[in-house]
Amino acid sequence: MTTLISPCVLSVKFIFALFTVILTDMGDHSIQTQPITKKRKNTEAQESRKRLRHTTNGNTNGFISKKVKYTSPKKIAKALFPGMQGRVLNVWKGYRKECPNNPAFVFVLPNNGTSLSLEDLPKSYHECECVFRHEYEVSKEASTLTNSSKSRQSLIGREERVELKKTVEENINQLLKGHSNIEMIGVSSVRSKNYGLKNAKVIRETCIVIYVHVKGVIPIGEEEFPRSIGSFPLDVREGKFIPYGRVPRANEYHQHLLTGCQIIRRAANSVGTIGGFLDLPGGGIGVLTCAHVVLTEKELTQYINCKPDQQTDLRKSVPWRTLQICQPDRYNDFGAVKDFVLYPGCSSEVGIDAAVVKITNEARLPVSGEFPWDDRQTTGYGPDNPMEFLSGNCIEIKPELEGCEVVKFGATTGITRGLLAHTSLFVKRSHVPDLAFKNVIYNQMEVQPLQGFDGFAQKGDSGSLVLMAHKGNRKKLVAVGMVVGGTTTNTTVVTPILNILKKFHLPNMCFKTFRHCPRPKETSSLAELKKEQNKQGKEIKQLKQNIQEYRKDHKRQMQQQRKEHQKMNQKVIDLVEDLKRDNAKTNKMIQNINKQLNVKQ
């Protein structure tokens, strides 16, 4: 009995001990794996952030596959723009009507030179759509409708306008409460149909217009806009309100361009400055700047290595005239290069490095002679005494002007003051041996910074207009030159302005003039169009007068013809009466003859 029990007891004890060991191991395992798991999670988070940085900084299409339904927009902005304060003005989450279950994040970026390249940013975040817009970037649908001929010809009646106003007043609070993305509310006499498609058209229909920054993205927790409000249909367009308070800085977005604004070529990284506005002979407004601002180093070298006749052909070729120039960054283009000059000069001639950009976007035409905002007090200019170039006058630089004070506004340094030190400076632009005797500039001006200024100009100020006070009056500035570069001795190289204009075959008075009080001013193209309209109006008026005279002459002729017809009818009647009388006489004579014959018989 004992021999049988003892093995059972041993087996039971062995099984119990084994089970205890297993439980103990499981407990130990659960205790020991928690920090390991936590460490692994941290490692995965770090790797995901590294992958996210990689997708943010490069042009990659790989995105994190993990789905995130509820994510804080601030966290996404911080993840997409790590350590880059000021790169995102606002971020909000929404959805598209076609995909209500897939969130879309809208990022609003500032309109200045520090904006990120939209092409380098990821199109999604954790499989959620990402939409990037600049602060005042909208589609052209609204401006197209506003400038359409149907909009100008179709006016809203007085009774209909009163009803529109009443409808908007009754529903505006409800609209603003239910839709947080509304930027403006207005009315219009036209609507667009199939905008962006081949069969797009403008139709005549009075409607209430709601403007949003990004059309098609509905904020989370809100519904899409109704099709109509009251008896009027609703039209949604993209639009933003721009406060006209402080004048933006040179590297910020300007709806209407100013002299001194920062400009950049779309396909290059060179930054320069607007050096004034020119009334172009063929019509339109041009921007003066340096050639090395609108051309890359490769293009400059290619042009300089060509023969003179080949250089002329290159200047007239199409590719040079399709270079898009933007302000303040590469996503806000305003014009294209019209012409450029790279002329070294000689001992008796001035070298030129200049370009003219024609403004093709009429919405950004200049309306003021003011310069961008510069809040420094050492410049001598301020809110009560703004720096302005209104006259458009230019003067010739002579040796006797050496030592006179000059001033300029550059996109990098703003307003700086200096002294004209030398008027016949020779410089070599390149250290490349092959271009040693080609890439040079003769007879330039040298400007020293005035005491209290670190320098007169720096990189990014190329193209700045250098001005001089006329007879000591700082309010009456005249142009003397354009900044093209600097030296290691902290001086600035300036090209005489009149020689630049002469090389472009432009008159001395081609700079655009402005009134003292800034107001919208007609451009030369609009002025020519108005002249043409006035001419056509006079022709139409003359044609109406001719038509009236023709009608009067025709009336006189008709009256004369009637009188002649009446006279002819009277003559015919008289002739018929005469014929009747003659017939009567003839009948009597015949009767008398017959009687006489009867008597004789």
Taking only the tens place, the pLDDT of each residue in 378-411 is: 677 877 778 889 889 999 888 888 888 999 999 9
Which positions ≥6 away from 250 have C-beta within 8 Å?
Answer: 260, 261, 262, 273, 328, 372, 373, 409, 410, 411, 412, 414
Burial class (CB in 10 A: 0-12, 13-18, 19+), 64: middle
pLDDT of residue 467: 94
pLDDT of residue 243: 65
Peptide bond before residue 328 is cis, with ω within 30 degrees of 0: yes
How many whole angstroms separate alpha carbon 24 and alpha carbon 566? 138
pLDDT of residue 288: 96
pLDDT of residue 519: 37
Q: Are 131 and 108 in contact (CB under 8 A)?
A: no
Q: Which residues is 342 bridged to in the sheet?
A: 353
How many whole angstroms separate alpha carbon 447 and alpha carbon 245? 34
How many whole angstroms separate alpha carbon 186 and alpha carbon 200? 22
Type and span of the H or E element at 201: strand 201-212
pTM as predicted: 0.54
pLDDT of residue 17: 53
Q: Are 234 and 224 in contact (CB under 8 A)?
A: no
How would you classify the pairing of strands 473-486 and 465-470?
Answer: antiparallel
Q: How many CB atoms are located within 10 Å of the residue 308 CB? A: 7
**pLDDT beneath 50, residues of the chain:** 1-10, 12, 18-70, 113-115, 432-433, 435-437, 517-524
pLDDT of residue 88: 74
Structural domains in the chain, sorted by start: 48-137 (no CATH), 141-238 (no CATH), 262-521 (2.40.10.10)
pLDDT of residue 528: 66
pLDDT of residue 212: 93
Q: How large is the greatest C-alpha to C-alpha distance in the chain, in angstroms?
A: 204
Long-range contacts at 215-218 (CB < 8 A, ≥ 24 apart): 215/139, 216/96, 216/97, 217/94, 217/95, 217/96, 217/104, 217/106, 217/131, 217/181, 218/94, 218/95, 218/96, 218/97, 218/181
Q: Which residues is 346 bridged to in the sheet?
A: 349
Nearest to 456 by CA among 431, 489, 502: 489
pLDDT of residue 481: 95
Strand ordering across the sheet containing 201-212: 182-193, 201-212, 232-238, 228-229
Taking only the tens place, the pLDDT of each residue in 48-106 is: 444 434 333 333 233 333 334 445 666 666 666 665 555 677 888 889 988 888 888 88
pLDDT of residue 520: 37
pLDDT of residue 148: 83
